[in-house]
Chain A
Amino acid sequence: DTEVTQTPKHLVMGMTNKKSLKCEQHMGHRAMYWYKQKAKKPPELMFVYSYEKLSINESVPSRFSPECPNSSLLNLHLHALQPEDSALYLCASSQLRSQINEKLFFGSGTQLSVL
């Protein structure tokens, strides 16, 4: 079982809806990440939080709004999405030792469909 838990597993939303994706980890990791993955493509980094502060934003449109309420939780707020935003959204965490061999632990993702 993954130690990074994402909810919901599936989400269907209209372009005018507001929804949120949630991610939780209890491994004491201090870095958390959001990735977007299209079918049969590699994951693309969206955001990185380190010590609950946003440290990397990969020029993601403002209709995606991340939030890190505490070191265990990561949210992704969605508003006015487009159909092309339909994808698998993966959350990941890592210890944040800033070393080359630091591995990421991923959740199972939220499959998002925007109608």
Chain B
Amino acid sequence: AQKITQTQPGMFVQEKEAVTLDCTYDTSDQSYGLFWYKQPSSGEMIFLIYQGSYDEQNATEGRYSLNFQKARKSANLVISASQLGDSAMYFCAMREGNAGGTSYGKLTFGQGTILTVHP
């Protein structure tokens, strides 16, 4: 079974509009972390935002916010006021607390969503 599911292969949004990219996850751990990365055509994976399983508030970083619904196991990324430069592939990822005894490196990525921002 997939640990991270991103059901939207592609999304389109008009410039200056808001867009939500979906991410659901599957884990039996109580402690886990959820990450969103952006990958433009240049190839670099850029960290956007982090949400911990025990965080009571939804994470926000500038125009990015994370709609974290723990009971539904979803961690959707909301981008407000889309810009042309937001066109990229977006990956949701999870790190579980008991990942083979180590908690580093073992990020599980979803399949990604390609976001296209239209002028």
Contacts and interface: CB of A to CB of B under 8 A. Distances in A.
Interface of A: 2, 31, 33, 40-43, 45, 48, 50, 55-56, 88, 90, 92, 94, 96-109, 111
User: Which of B32, B106, B110 counts the most chain A CB atoms within 10 A?
Assistant: B106
A42 B103 contact: no
A106 B45 contact: yes
Contacts of A104: 45, 47, 105, 107
A100 to B, nearest CB: 4
A103 B44 contact: no
B35 interface: yes
B103 A40 contact: no
Mostly, the B contact residues are loop
Contacts of B114: 40
A42 B45 CA distance: 11
| Contact-residue bracket for chain B | 20 to 34
User: Which of B32, B42, B43, B95 counts the most chain A CB atoms within 10 A?
Assistant: B43
Contacts of A94: 104-105
Contacts of A103: 35, 47, 50
Contact of A102 (B91, B103, B110): B103
Contact of B109 (A33, A42, A109): A42
A31 B104 contact: yes
Contacts of B106: 45, 56
Contacts of B97: 100
